[in-house]
Structure 1
């Protein structure tokens, strides 16, 4: 759906379409009154958030830049000859929700918030933002402009803003070398890797061979046998 990336870039909420929390509080108070509950009853934040999740009309998935219906079928039967993406009926109805349309077309404000309340935070993005400078702005750009993110990264790299991120720049350099060798029909044997990248890859291999294999498929990298040989050689040299 067009504009979904922009919308998800503006909000950290995991859901959308629910009434304002002040209105949800009034609903809970009225329900308590209708069932003759305690006169001093005051809805807790947990109760309000729980009801907010129940009343939500759509679910935001920032990790895959997508929006789903709370009633998403998750699985569906299709004909083998059917082509194209398959969307269940509840998810297909989300773009027709008036509040969702308003959220998509709402213009971004000029004032940037200084912090995000804990309940609105996205832990996946937050962890990345805390570890790397400028990543938040880059993620925002790639959501909006796609390949322009790489141009922005190149511009910043040329100014030396990533000189301290030797592992990151080394991985990018390795990816470029691998592509060049593959385009020339050459194998990936006897490659020379940046020291910081080599150390990172070896540490990763010793920590999780499965994770290392995933990265090695993309960047080439040393074989696990070579990594073990280097590690054992280092131990015996100590």
Structure 2
């Protein structure tokens, strides 16, 4: 929450130029320097209140790959609030993990994505889809986001370990899982680096040849 508020305030008062992520990086550092004491029971009580108040919104199916500007904000807002509270603890934990060089993962994971965006949309006007599969230009056309930008790298591997096992100990209602992720298998696949998949498939092919 601090990151969102800090970045929003700085952007509003300082008229940020496209891709000036310094305020965001500063907010990440500040957040990781502060004491974090949230626990799951507190978070669960908050997202369950949203579930009670928004039963219709949370049972509405959404195309999460669509242009966010075309979606009902009441519906997406309800889902986003539940996910914000549900993943708040692993979000914070991952963001404050450090690389082997001592850099914060909350900062390092954004760098290849920002670099890619600068090349594809230099004017800096874009909208990412909620499922992080596409970015939409101002004219409504979209570009697919390379999976390796999201799922490959040192921090991304740490992210996978942080998120994959959270639902095992803290399950979400099935209908929310289905409406947001499709299934937990789809959720887990999101954190699998496509390069790793290729290596696994190649290894299996060689193994079969050696057996034959």
Q: Structure 2 length as normaliser, TM-score?
A: 0.25
Computing the radius of gyration from Cα coordinates, the structure with the larger value is 1
Q: Structure 1 length as normaliser, TM-score?
A: 0.23
Greater relative contact order structure (CA < 8 Å, 6+ sep) = 2
